[in-house]
Structure 1
Amino acid sequence: MHSDTAAPVPTWDPQQYLRHAGHRARPFLDLLARLPEPPSAPARIADLGCGPGNVTALLAERWPDARVTGYDLSPEMLRRAEDEYAGPTPGGGSLGFRHGDLADWTPGETYDLIVSNAALQWVPGHPDSFARWIGGLRPGGTFAFQVPGNFDAPSHRLLAELCGSARWRERLGGHGAVRHAPVLDPGAYLDRLSGLGCAADVWETTYHQLLQGPDPVLDWVKGTALRPVLTALGDDRAAVEEFLAAYREVLREAYPAGPRGTVFPFRRIFAVARKEAPAC
């Protein structure tokens, strides 16, 4: 994740985030399936915005002799990742985690693969970092990421409207606008990456997820889009409960429960860029 001088850094809850671990990991598995083999072995791999480390561990499973490092800004996420996954890997490699702010992270060594899973949407201006990150790859190395592309979905639009309402505007105005501007259209990502001399593949997928349980969309966003709002409300439990009750009501109308669960469409944008020449 990244820091933001205009607002408090959201407090992340690894346990809440992992409540939907299967659905959250699926886009990364699809991205992982499209990654080419690293140009050297053992590979050096960085995971930017590693969160609780569960998908970083998948990189170590695919390349068990690699040195894999996950970077994240959240102490809560890093503690969970360290406790669950850090250490040597069966193939002679290693899996570790470090504090890192994606807003200014710079490769400190040469990497074979730099990957980011559902994190760059929190980093305004992240495309301006592509040249720096790609510059840290060895020739033949890969920069790959996936980001949410659902910022105009009811879940986010209704959150922004509620935060901007008369009841909450003074306290939460702007917190519900979950950073639509930083995420580019797929074509714009393709243009950026190709312009850096890379062989780029960019695509999008909308997953129609069937969520289970009471108010599952609210439970989903509690792990992501709601984090800045909950951080802003802090320990004011009465305000938290009032806000969640209002948000729950509009989400139930936007995402009605069916006999087999609640359908929650989620668009994702993917990119895989291979560095073909030192000039990239």
Structure 2
Amino acid sequence: MGNMTWDPQLYARFDTDRSRPFFDLTARIRADAPDTVVDLGCGTGALTAMLARRWPGAAVTGIDSSPDMVAAAPGDGSERLDIRHGDLRDFQPEGVDVVVSNAALQWIPEHRGLLRRWAAGLPSGAWLAWQVPGNFDAPSHALMRQLADSPRWSGRLGGVLRGGESVDDPAGYARLLVDADCTADVWETTYVHLLNGENPVLQWVRATGLRPVLDALDADAAADFEAEYAALLRDAYPAGPHGTLFPFRRVFCVGRKR
């Protein structure tokens, strides 16, 4: 995750659609007046600032591995909100009342082990909540992997993309929570986004799932790959009179330490 490049403006293009899962996730955190809140994989911190507004008495910290995202942090003018650059693997949960991670852990292959360590280290009564995409087997990602594995591209893109093993299923995450002596509020949701513009699904994944491919290719090769991939996406997600429907499954997990 630390080696990938991120474009804050491109990521923010679908801001309303991308932020919806964050609010659906954090609405299930029942903490009344936490002292310390940490947002892991916070991006620019725009949503982290919402946590500072929700819990005005808390010291809120956002941590992200992308210097570009952190540099774009707006800040809220207070000392209670701190957005900083760092590796999520280094986070220590001791003494933290609420830990949130929104659409970040799928980039860390060993995140299940991290979750177990965080859950074990949290104080009694603390909350651990995360959300990850569950769409790795959807056409948007399956077609990307198939193209990357094709004879033209496999030499340069072999092993760059991960598949469905990137995240666990809801039952697997629920098991992780209960094994760590936490309550388990786990569910999945498929959002159907209505996207507009030219090649809208390509534009969506260009900011997220396509990043490893774009980082592995030079500009000319990346443009060629995108052109081939866009054609496949147009067939898989045909445009209708009102835009392009893009189903997107996500997995949500909220636990409280007993």
The yes-or-no answer on 1:21 pairing with 2:15 is yes
SS of equivalent to 1:265: strand
The aligned runs of 1:171-210 (5 Å cut-off) are: 171-175=156-160, 177-210=161-194
Residue ranges of structure 1 left out of the alignment (5+ in a row)? 4-8
The yes-or-no answer on 1:223 pairing with 2:207 is yes
Residue in 1 that maps onto 2:35: 43
In structure 2, which of residues 146, 153, 160 is the aligned counterpart of residue 168 of structure 1?
A: 153
1:86 Cα deviation after fit: 5.1
The aligned runs of 1:108-123 (5 Å cut-off) are: 109-123=94-108
Kept in 2, the 8 Å contact 1:147–1:270? The answer is yes
1:179 Cα deviation after fit: 4.5
Residue in 2 that maps onto 1:253: 235
Distance between the aligned counterparts of 1:104 and 1:112, measured in 2? 17
1:37 Cα deviation after fit: 1.6
In structure 2, which of residues 92, 95, 102 is the aligned counterpart of residue 106 of structure 1?
A: 92
The yes-or-no answer on 1:147 pairing with 2:144 is no
Distance between the aligned counterparts of 1:230 and 1:215, measured in 2? 17
TM-score by length of 1: 0.88
Kept in 1, the 8 Å contact 2:119–2:177? The answer is no
Residue ranges of structure 2 left out of the alignment (5+ in a row)? none
What is the identity percentage for the equivalent residue pairs of Structure 1 and Structure 2?
54
Residue in 1 that maps onto 2:83: 97
Please tell me the residue identity of whatever aligns with 2:30. Answer: P
Distance between the aligned counterparts of 2:39 and 2:210, measured in 1? 24
Residue in 2 that maps onto 1:237: 219
Kept in 1, the 8 Å contact 2:34–2:97? The answer is no
Distance between the aligned counterparts of 1:240 and 1:86, measured in 2? 37
Paired residues, what number? 258
The aligned runs of 1:71-90 (5 Å cut-off) are: 71-81=63-73, 84-85=74-75, 87-88=77-78
Distance between the aligned counterparts of 2:48 and 2:213, measured in 1? 27
SS of equivalent to 1:85: coil
Deviates more, 1:127-136 or 1:243-252: 127-136
CA RMSD of aligned residues (A): 1.4
Distance between the aligned counterparts of 1:135 and 1:67, measured in 2? 22
Distance between the aligned counterparts of 2:103 and 2:77, measured in 1? 24
Deviates more, 1:183-192 or 1:55-64: 55-64
In structure 1, which of residues 57, 73, 79 is the aligned counterpart of residue 49 of structure 2?
A: 57
SS of equivalent to 1:187: helix
The yes-or-no answer on 1:125 pairing with 2:107 is no
SS of equivalent to 1:272: strand
